[in-house]
Every structure is written in structure tokens, then in C-alpha cells.
Structure 1
């Protein structure tokens, strides 16, 4: 019996529409070839253009609408003429927090044919998964401003760390580390300076570690972590960090693995009480919007993560093999990788590679 999955497609802004469109083509080609599942994709015009028309990036009942879907494919949000905090909180964070997508998973590795800016690094030395706590921490949205415009104006941004929030992301990260060959986890912290929330983070990490005696783990201050990622990449495997710290470190990881245009993301609701959301991390990139040169590989990789989450493991693996076949050929490299291939050319090459991988 053919399995049907309902997918919500939210292209958003800038190159989001270009790469999500490319992702849909690749997914439909994969589903047609596989024959065991189909994708019922519904598009939503949520984003900055809707905000300009209506004053809201998405309708008030938007997240309730999304609950009826099996997964969400997201592009990007943000426009040059709108403050970034409006667009981020009006769409992406609204979805992530309301649907309790508390585990943000960002793999980073050197794909075939891609060169790292790091000297003498081997592909096997840079194969990480960064787990980002995605619901609280520094991005809790707590705080405010008072005495606006006066000399005594005050703004507060309160980081929230809860035992339940830390426990669940730590357990998720340890379980992920256990599932990988090296079984290693690095816990990122800043407890020398942040003596309350981050000390709780450290204490709970130690508690959860006792449940996973087969996982080798260590703890690293976030500033020292940037040095370790660049100087000793082979010492790292799975990395877990707070909302802010992992946000920064995952961009560094993407750059070190070749390009932010290659980097995928899964915003997971591990308990599956609501749909999870999958997206490239590169943003709306208005400087290249409409030029047809956006790199769609990050979206394709995100789509593979979506298929794996849906239980279509064979299709996910086939898509990843196709991605690797495409990146291995320099003719398929987009401008961010030093090439001249267009979004359409990379998409067509990936669809051809999917067919080749089926034989």
C-alpha cells in the first residue's frame, strides 16, 4: 500500500522560494521513482510580503493549521526593509516554539568534491552533528524595554534555563551520540562566566551522562570550542549547546565544511506530538535573489533528513547518495563553491543522480 505524507511548504523570503521549489522537484522525482510513497505538498505564502499586506507573517491560526501535516519544508525568512527580529519571531520562531520543536539538529561534514578552508583537513576529520536547544535559553523571548528614548533607557534580555528543557536536549544528544560509530559527545558551556543557568546546564549534563556509560563525553567552554573546531576538528563528533551558542557554532561548522549553502537543519519534535520542520540554514540572501544561482544542496539535504524522520530511510539514503554524486563533480558547483552552476542545473543533476542511484 502506498504511503502518503502531507507536507507543508513555506518558501518564505528571498532565495527561500527558489530552493524550496527545487527541493519539491527533487522530492517528487524521488517519490515517483521509489513508488512506495507519495507526497501531498501544500504551499503557504507566509513571509515578509504577507506581513506588508496584512501586518502578520502568518495567520493567527497558522500553527494550528500546520499540526495536520506530517512535516514542514521551510525556506527562509527576512527582508532588507524589515527588522530581523520581527520576521524571525513572526514566523520561524513562532512555528518552532509553538510546535515544541526543541531539538535543532545540524549535521556538518565535508561532502565529496568540497574543499574545507582548513589546511590539510581530511573528510573524516570533519563529520559533526550539532544539537541545538531550540526552545529556551538565550532565545526565550523574555525581557523588555522601558524609558524608551530617555537617557536612562533600559533593555533586558533574560535567558531561561529549565531542568526539563536541559534534561530533554541532553538526553537527545546522548542518544544521538550513542547511535554514531564514535559514540562521542561534547557539551558546550560558559559556566565560568554565566554562573546560574550554565552551571545548571553543566550539572544536568553530568547527571544524564550517567545513563550513557558507553558514550565518551567532555565539556568545553564556547570560546575555546571555536578554537577546537578549527585546530582539532577530528576530536569532535556530536556537539550539544544552548540556543545562542549552537546558533553561532553551527554557522562556523558550515563554513568549515565548505559553504553555508550546503548546511541543512532539522527542527525536531522528538515525541512527534506535532510536525517537525526542515530547512537550509543560509537565510534569505537577498543579494542573490532572482539570479538563479542559489545553492539548493542544503535544502536537498534537509529534505533527506525529513524523509528519514518520516521513516523513509531508503529514500533518504538514495537522496544523500545523489547529493554526494552531484557535489563530487565540480561542474555542479554553484558560485558559493567557486563554480558557475545554476540552481536549475544542480536540481536537474540531482534528479539524474537519483535515477542513477536506483540502478
Structure 2
């Protein structure tokens, strides 16, 4: 096929809150990039989320996954609405896609963008350049558990962390391969096996077994509580990190804060075998307190879109988009409020589009 005729099918699922605003901004930036590239996008918009739930009683239709199964990628916004219990919004939409599409490797890059000062004193950009790999299909968010004797004094609620050898081995192998692809070839394995003496001990053992296939990758192991201190006090000692579903969820939010704001944090929910489409999203959540004000930070969505381009095989275009983002943050005159500026969503989006037209360099 002539590459100039290559069209990528993208499912746009803005979801809730500011997700609708930042995803639309992301599509605007992708349209600007598309005008300069030998490929295009066919975007299909889906109105699934809490508004859909309030009308239909479900976050997405029963055949929703079938509708997006044939897409090349998914651009997602957020799930969460104060009118709907959080466990319904999360399990009814985001996790319903991640788990059923076996997007078991959640990849969260964190680094100091040009012009952005994080809260760590004397932390140079080269000192904070991490990628956190989160096991994304089981562990603490496996969904196993239940409640009995509801409403009675002896009521019991259980959430069971489930780790399988297959699940741990595949995310470890993914993390080792990612670490190998980075210049430092360093992988930190996060655990809590001192207290969780069954599944997390197995996690450690499998990490060591897989590591024998990667003799060129240096490894160290950290308890999750000690890892929080290391991220703050010795950021330069970290490169690639692998952690369980819950542990990485928490650590990656800390990482985002240390790089300046949750608003710039990006993620990819990856199905490495490409049996199903992968899903890319900012991690800031629905932020209902600022919804509709036009001030949401779209940079996390732009960075997620750059990750999506790389996943689609358009690495050069992904780098162009990242250079455009960095040009805007580095200039410092069009920054969103959470990064110390006063620019609204539209102004930031227009600035990145202009940087793309100027070459993104």
C-alpha cells in the first residue's frame, strides 16, 4: 500500500469532565500534524461516559467493544462524574476496555519538559527522565472479590489481589525490553514482598527469572514505600520502573507532580501483541471543578497522542509533535494555569499547532 494513502482509524472517547475538552484539543493538534504528513486519520467519536450512563444505565453499549475492536488506536479522555459512583464509571468504561482488550502494559513517561520547573530543588532536566511500566490487567485491580451480609454489623467486603505467572512474566519482559531500549539500560523493580509474602514474592522471583534473559540490563529492587522517598530525594538514580497495578498507579501520580503538574502526564495502555487496539490518555482525570471553564491543560493529551503516533509506527511524526510541545513550554509565554501561566485550553492548542507549522524545532 502506498504510505501516502495510509489512513489510521482512531476511536475518540472523551468520556467525562474535561476529557471532552482535552480530547477535542488533541484531535485539533493531530489534524494540524496530518496536514504535513503522508498519512491521515479517520476519527470516529463515541459519546460514552457518565452522561450516556444517566440516559441508558450503562457507561457504553453492550456491543461497545465490538464497535472499536477494529480501530488502530483509541484516544481516551477520562472517566468520573460526581453524579455516578466512581467504581461504576471506572469499571464501566476505562477498565472495561483495558482488561477486555488485554492492554496489560500501561506506560507512563515522566520528565521535566523545557521551561517547566518541578517542585524538586536543584533537579535538572537530565535528573528526571523516567518511564513507569504499570501492570495493567490484574494485581490489586483484578476485580476479584465481593460483599456479603450487606448492611449488617458483620458485613464483609473483599478485594483480592490476583497475580498470575503469565501476567507477571509478560509485563516484566515488556519492562526489561523497554529498559534495554533506553540509554541507561536500568530497571527498578518495585515490590512489597516483605509484607505481601505470597503474590509479591512470586513477583520478585519472576522478575529475577526474566532478568536472566537480559544480562545487559542493570536492575535494582525497591519496596514501594522506599521508592517514594527515592523519587523525591534521588531522582537521578531512576530510569525505567516496573510495578504492580496499584503501586504504579500511585507512583506515577507522584512522578507527574514532580515534573510540574498532573496536567502534562501521558499514558499508553498497550496491547503489545496488537491483537486489540491500544488506548492513549492523559492521566489527570475528569477534574469536574474546572469543567467547562476552558482552562484545562491539554498537554497530557498531546503527549499521549505523540505516544499513539509512535505506537502506530509513525515515530518521526511523534517526535515532531513532542518537539512542538517542548517549543511551547520552553518559550514560556503560552502556559496553562497549572504550570504557572494564564493561557486557556484554546491558546495552548493554537500555540502547539503553530509550532507544528513552524517545524516543531
Q: TM-score range by the shorter chain?
A: over 0.9
Match of 1:7?
10
Residue 170 of structure 2 corresponds to residue 132 of structure 1: no
Matches of residues 23-102 of structure 1 in structure 2 within 5 Å? 23-34=26-37, 36-102=38-104
**C-alpha separation in 2, matches of 1:172 and 1:295:** 30
**CA 1:80–1:358 in 2, change beyond 3 Å: closer, same or farther?**
closer
Distance 1:334 1:83 in 2: 30
Q: Secondary structure at the match of 1:347?
A: helix
- The residue aligned with 1:290 is 292
Alignment partner of 1:350 out of 349, 352, 357: 352
- Gaps (5+ residues) in structure 2? none
**1:1-359 equivalence runs, <5 A:** 1=2, 2=4, 3-34=6-37, 36-357=38-359
2: CA distance, partners of 1:80 / 1:333: 28
**Alpha-carbon distance between aligned partners in 2 of 1:239 and 1:55, rounded to the nearest angstrom:** 39
Q: Deviations over 1:136-173 (max 9, x none)?
A: 00000000000011110000110000000000000000
| Alpha-carbon distance in structure 1 between the residues aligned to 2:340 and 2:58 | 38
> For residues 360 and 333 of structure 2, what CA distance do their matches in structure 1 show?
22
Separation in structure 2 between the aligned mates of residue 45 and residue 124 of structure 1, nearest angstrom: 40
Q: What's the offset of the Cα at 1:65?
A: 1.2
Q: Give the CA deviation at 1:40.
A: 0.3
Cα RMSD over matched residues? 0.7
Q: CA deviation at 1:358?
A: 6.1
Q: CA deviation at 1:181?
A: 0.2
TM, length-normalised to structure 2? 0.98
Quote how far apart the aligned CAs of 1:314 are.
Answer: 1.0
1:185 and 1:64 map into 2 onto residues whose CA distance is 36
Cα deviation code 1:292-333 (max 9, x no counterpart)? 100000000000000000001111010000000011122211
Hey, what's the Cα distance between the residues in 2 that align with 1:313 and 1:227?
A: 34
Tell me how far apart the structure 1 counterparts of residues 120 and 57 of structure 2 sit (CA, whole Å).
45
Q: Kindly provide the CA deviation profile for residues 156-207 of structure 1, in whole angstroms up to 9, marking residues without a partner as x.
A: 1100000000000000000000000000000000000000000000000000
Return the alpha-carbon distance in structure 1 between the equivalents of residues 316 and 135 of structure 2: 28
1:135 and 1:214 map into 2 onto residues whose CA distance is 28
Instruction: Show CA shifts across 1:87-127 (max 9, x none).
Output: 00000000000000000000000000000101110101000
| Separation in structure 2 between the aligned mates of residue 110 and residue 226 of structure 1, nearest angstrom | 18
Q: Which runs of 4+ in 1 moved over 3 A?
A: none
CA distance in 2, matches of 1:66, 1:129: 28
C-alpha separation in 2, matches of 1:283 and 1:166: 27
- Aligned counterparts of 1:167 and 1:49: Cα–Cα separation in 2: 38
